[in-house]
Structure 1
């Protein structure tokens, strides 16, 4: 019998599609369940306690319903706060998403990097640890932008978003003391790679944007090595945790990522 168990990717919204894109490139036949926790969105403005309580409980329900072979928390905020709790609660592989500070430090020539994420992510001790371990010789500046998450969500729904708002998000990094030295920016929210082209377009100088999606996809490949996949790629399903009248623009985006059905948890 073929193994039809899906990969389950989870995010607070639809930003985790940036990780799904990388996973599809390496595992095109993998069945996919993509979960957007629109009932709890946004995570970046919530307290650590709220996220630490919500995410393991929700993923437990999702694991029971969809029987995945692996879960990927395609959300930096949820991963930096709740990854350990999820792994303790579930008896299956769980892959997290953490800010790509190590590759950014390897790329930076000026030895100054920016970390652009949600407020909840950029204040985490985990970011301190990554900076100390992999970028100790770099100036590491951080900025949290809830607005950039909103812009990414709106863009993926097919709504127009103003250039000035993207520039404001970048200015939060570049206008800090030492920000004029930054040459590499970590996109520490999975929403942000989906609007990286907009950020690059309004940047005052060439910048390198780095995210962890490809590394996450490679880790999923390793953890599923030797497993069987369905003979033919099946259409994926997008799951929302609260009722949602999916707008046409979002349906188009989901279809672009081979998510042809929607469900509500």
Structure 2
């Protein structure tokens, strides 16, 4: 393997930057390509078949073009739907993103956990499996808040975000039977941590928010441990969508060490 072989971080949009930030802390010298399927955004409102076909096809093209040492699907929706298929068709090691139900179950004091994700993520059988394995004896409340994806994207572009908009998109989690006992919320979409200040204001100071970014970064670091790494070219970001829209994010990408923008 070439020392310059990159780690490819893939997301439907910019939410995966929350994973990249954690990865930089552990592997500052790792060459990285960040891929955002802006033309396919949002995934949370698509059918499972649409997401699976799109993710597998795009990752196949990118693996052939850039020969990454590892691919991280930094998107809960894509991971819960397409992870198995992608692992079957690609030889590249794949790290997925799953809702952080296990750590949430370990820290809740009331026993009531909220799962805030896209509409598609919260209905997946994979989430059922995580609940059975790690949250027995707990209450897991789920809510699809796909509207938060667009708000997270807008915030990263520098647009002003109203807390009332965030509250409206996410409040259905609380307005369920048992919602008054909620003390821990799993942010099961990589876009959602971008809105954590607004979510804290919406839910109140007694609610703890948890996401999987740190755990994902640690898993990537474990899998590439001992590998030689050398950055021959500056890290860059790739999009499937219009370059004009992508260029609006130039400053945000640069803040994460992504110096160039490329169209797939």
Q: Determine if the TM-score, normalized by the shorter chain, exceeds 0.5.
A: yes
1:220 aligns with 2:220: yes
CA contact (8 A) 2:247 2:261 kept: no
CA contact (8 A) 1:157 1:248 kept: no
Give the equivalent residue in structure 1 for 2:174: 174
2: distance between equivalents of 1:148 and 1:234? 34
Give the equivalent residue in structure 2 for 1:80: 80
Pairwise mapping of residues 89-104 of structure 1 onto structure 2 (< 5 A)? 89-104=89-104
Unaligned residue ranges in structure 1 (runs of 5+): none
Pairwise mapping of residues 243-254 of structure 1 onto structure 2 (< 5 A)? 243-246=242-245, 249-254=248-253
1: distance between equivalents of 2:89 and 2:2? 28
Give the equivalent residue in structure 1 for 2:159: 159
CA contact (8 A) 2:52 2:85 kept: yes
Give the equivalent residue in structure 2 for 1:129: 129
1: distance between equivalents of 2:218 and 2:239? 26
1:21 aligns with 2:21: yes
Give the equivalent residue in structure 2 for 1:264: 263
Give the equivalent residue in structure 2 for 1:109: 109
CA positional deviation for 1:113:
0.3
CA positional deviation for 1:260:
1.1
CA positional deviation for 1:196:
0.9
Give the equivalent residue in structure 2 for 1:237: 236
CA positional deviation for 1:33:
0.3
Change (3 A) 1:65 1:208: same
Listed one character per residue, the Cα deviations across residues 76-97 of structure 1 (whole Å, up to 9, x for unaligned) are 0000000000000100100000
2: distance between equivalents of 1:96 and 1:146? 20
Unaligned residue ranges in structure 2 (runs of 5+): none
Normalised by the length of structure 1, the TM-score is 0.96
1: distance between equivalents of 2:140 and 2:93? 31
SS of the equivalent of 2:99 reads coil
Bigger mean CA deviation after superposition, 168-177 or 22-31: 168-177
Normalised by the length of structure 2, the TM-score is 0.96
Output the aligned Cα RMSD: 1.5
2: distance between equivalents of 1:142 and 1:191? 17
CA positional deviation for 1:248:
6.2
CA contact (8 A) 1:101 1:134 kept: yes
CA positional deviation for 1:243:
2.4
Listed one character per residue, the Cα deviations across residues 182-216 of structure 1 (whole Å, up to 9, x for unaligned) are 10000000001111111112223421111111111
SS of the equivalent of 2:10 reads strand
Give the equivalent residue in structure 2 for 1:186: 186
CA positional deviation for 1:2:
6.3
Give the equivalent residue in structure 1 for 2:65: 65
SS of the equivalent of 1:259 reads coil
Give the equivalent residue in structure 2 for 1:204: 204
2: distance between equivalents of 1:127 and 1:58? 25
CA contact (8 A) 1:156 1:249 kept: no
